[in-house]
Structures are given as C-alpha cells and as structure tokens.
Amino acid sequence: MGYLPSVLIPKPRGALSDVLFEAMRTSTPSWDDVLDTEPDHDDDAQIALWALYELHYRGFEDVDDDLEWQPELLQVRRALEQPFEARLRDRFDVPDVTSPFADAFFDYVAGHDGRSLAAFVQRDADADQVRELLSVRTIYHLKESDPSAWLVPRLAVAPQAALMELQYDEYGAGDPNRLHAHLFARGLEACGLRSEYGAYIDDVPSEVLEQNNAMSLFGLHRRLRGAALGHLAAFEATSSLPSRRMTQGLDRLGFPAEMIGYYDEHVEADAVHEQLAVRVVCGTLLDAEPTLVDDVFFGAFTCLDLEDRFAGAMLEAWAA
Ligand SMILES: [Fe+2]
Ligand SMILES: [Fe+2]
C-alpha cells in the first residue's frame, strides 16, 4: 500500500491498453511494442489515457511511481491527447459574445443545459440505479477539485487568489472532515459502497473516462488554462440545483444521511462557487488574458456536452 490508498491498474479494454498496462506493470517493459500499438477503439484509447493521467495523481499499487515521467509513456499520452482534444474542439462552435462576460457566460450555460441525471434521481430512479450512478461518479468525486489544483501556479494574481478561495472550500477549509472528496467517501461507506479511489474503474462507461480525461487534459497543459477554468465555472454553475435534486431523490429512497450530506453541502457551497468561478476566477483571468475567452467557452461547452452525453448513456441504458 502506498502513501495514499490506491488501486491496481485497470482491466485493459483493447489492444493498446493491453500492451500498455502489461508494460507498466512489468520490471522489463517493451516500450517498442507499446509505441507500435494503436488503440483499436475509443474505449481502449480512453482507458489508456485515464491510466496514464492517473500516474500524475495517485498512481497504482502495481506500477512503479518512477514511470510518471517515463518518456515513452509521455509519448503515448501525447499521441492519445492530440486526437482527443481535436475531437472535443470539433464539437464546439465559438459563440459570439456581445454582452459583459459573466452575463454571456450564464446565458451560455443556461442555453446548453442537457439531460439531467439529478432530475431522474429526484423523481424516478430506483435504489439500484442510484447506487450505480454513485459508483461511476466516484471516478471524479473521490478526486474532486484535484484537476483544478494544477492551475494554481499558472495564473495571474487576481484569478490565482480567486481560485484559491474556491479551492480552500473544496478541500475542507482546513478541516479534513469537510474536504469534499472525503465527504463523498464517507457517504459511499455509509451506503455500503467502496470508497478507495478507482475501485469502480472497470465498470465505468467511456463517457465517464472522457469526462475525467478532459479535466486532466485541461489541467495538465498550461496552454489550456482558459479551457480548464471555463470547465470549472460551468461545472460550478450547474451544480447547486442538481445537488438539491440529488438530496431529494436520496431522501425519497432512504439513503444514508452521510450521502445526502455530501450533496447538501453542494447546494449552498456551489451557489456561492458559481458566482466566484464565473465572475471572479474567469472574469479576472480574462481581464489579465483576454485572448483566452474562446477557450473559456470551449472548456464550458466541453463540461456541459460531456455531462449531457454521460447522462444520455445512463438514461438510455436504464430505459432498455
Ligand atoms: Fe465540491
Ligand atoms: Fe464547488
């Protein structure tokens, strides 16, 4: 066991992840085989990218920590990131922003609101569906805010101070028992679900991998800081109301208070965070670096689009 609770590398989902994960586990890897292998479908590419990013977060029990900066792995990561970013950008149309930024941003988010899992949980979901949803949400909620933490040293003074104000809350304002990822872990345990990071990785659909990979892509590349903060702002701006719906659905189904408490925390916190993230973090970012405006909207679009696609996949699977 490492210094943080971590899991084994996931199950491969195709040709690339098969040779890649084998090479990451062994002490005598054949990097040439890895570099010669293409992903044979998108799910294969996404799980490979997720595992490569994870080396920069908590790592894996069965992978040497030193591989975080292995040149061949960075080469594979780059080969996966380039088509992934291109595909995300292809889905996005740059909006014509005429009103002041914050007004335009809130209008944009309202205009791109997609299918809602929280609304389904509030009214219709059964307990098994909610447990399934909570287990796939672990891939983000158990490292909530970590992808935004990469941004801190990359910003001008005003957006840096504002981002830290927001992050201070997300990380518990000095109290480990208020740290959001930890609140979610305690909620999972109260539900009888596993709380170690990555425990459900083999069960999550490709859409969840894409959501998490997009956040890591934006967070780990300084040139994408605008997209990272636009993503954060859209995330916060679409959290408070869905969190209230989640509390009502969990309450309707008799879920434990600890899990309801996690969402309850976000009803009020994110009503504040959305203002902070849009008006102050992104607003002052664009005062300092106005050319990033298109990327701020690109990040916001990606957040909303990926959540809509994830919600669609879950709702369709449940309707089948
Ligand atoms: Fe949070
Ligand atoms: Fe928040």
- Looking at the CA of 232, name the nearest ligand: 2
C-alpha–C-alpha distance, residues 122 and 51, integer Å = 33
Q: Quote the ligand 2 centre to 110 CA distance (angstroms).
A: 18
Mean pLDDT along residues 293-301: 98
Question: Using one digit for the tens of pLDDT, what is the confidence trace for 240-282?
Answer: 999 999 999 999 999 999 999 999 999 999 999 999 999 999 9
Tokens of 314: 């879950």
Instruction: Name the one residue in this structure whose structure tokens are 């490492």.
Output: 2
Tokens of 109: 């988010």
Amino acid identity of 16? L
Mean pLDDT along residues 33-39: 97
Q: Quote the ligand 1 centre to 170 CA distance (angstroms).
A: 5
Q: Quote the ligand 2 centre to 235 CA distance (angstroms).
A: 8
Mean pLDDT along residues 231-243: 97
Tokens of 131: 């447990």
- Looking at the CA of 264, name the nearest ligand: 1
Q: Quote the ligand 2 centre to 240 CA distance (angstroms).
A: 9
pLDDT band at 1 (very low <50, low <70, confident <90, very high): very low
Q: Quote the ligand 1 centre to 144 CA distance (angstroms).
A: 6
Q: What is the pLDDT of residue 27?
A: 87
* CATH code of the domain made up of 101-317: 1.20.910.10
Domain ranges (residues) in the chain: 15-90, 101-317
Question: How distant, in Å, are the alpha carbons of 13, 86, 197, 225, 253 from that of 150?
Answer: 28, 22, 19, 9, 37
- Looking at the CA of 274, name the nearest ligand: 2
Q: Quote the ligand 2 centre to 144 CA distance (angstroms).
A: 9
Q: Quote the ligand 2 centre to 100 CA distance (angstroms).
A: 23
Question: Using one digit for the tens of pLDDT, what is the confidence trace for 151-200?
Answer: 999 999 999 999 999 999 999 999 999 999 999 999 999 999 999 999 99
Q: Quote the ligand 1 centre to 244 CA distance (angstroms).
A: 13
pLDDT band at 113 (very low <50, low <70, confident <90, very high): confident
Q: Which residues contact 237 (CB under 8 A, 6 or more apart)?
A: 105, 106, 109, 274, 277, 278
Q: Which residues contact 97 (CB under 8 A, 6 or more apart)?
A: 104, 293, 297
In the chain, % of residues over pLDDT 90: 95
Q: What is the pLDDT of residue 300?
A: 98
Question: How distant, in Å, are the alpha carbons of 33, 83, 84, 287, 299 from that of 90?
Answer: 31, 10, 10, 27, 13
Instruction: Name the one residue in this structure whose structure tokens are 């679409």.
Output: 238
Q: Quote the ligand 2 centre to 244 CA distance (angstroms).
A: 13
Q: What is the mean pLDDT of the chain?
A: 96
- Looking at the CA of 141, name the nearest ligand: 1
Q: What is the pLDDT of residue 312?
A: 97
Q: Quote the ligand 1 centre to 180 CA distance (angstroms).
A: 5
Q: What is the pLDDT of residue 5?
A: 58
Q: Which residues contact 132 (CB under 8 A, 6 or more apart)?
A: 314
C-alpha–C-alpha distance, residues 146 and 215, integer Å = 9
Mean pLDDT along residues 309-313: 97
Q: Quote the ligand 2 centre to 270 CA distance (angstroms).
A: 5
Q: Quote the ligand 2 centre to 84 CA distance (angstroms).
A: 26
**Model pTM greater than 0.75?**
yes
pLDDT band at 213 (very low <50, low <70, confident <90, very high): very high
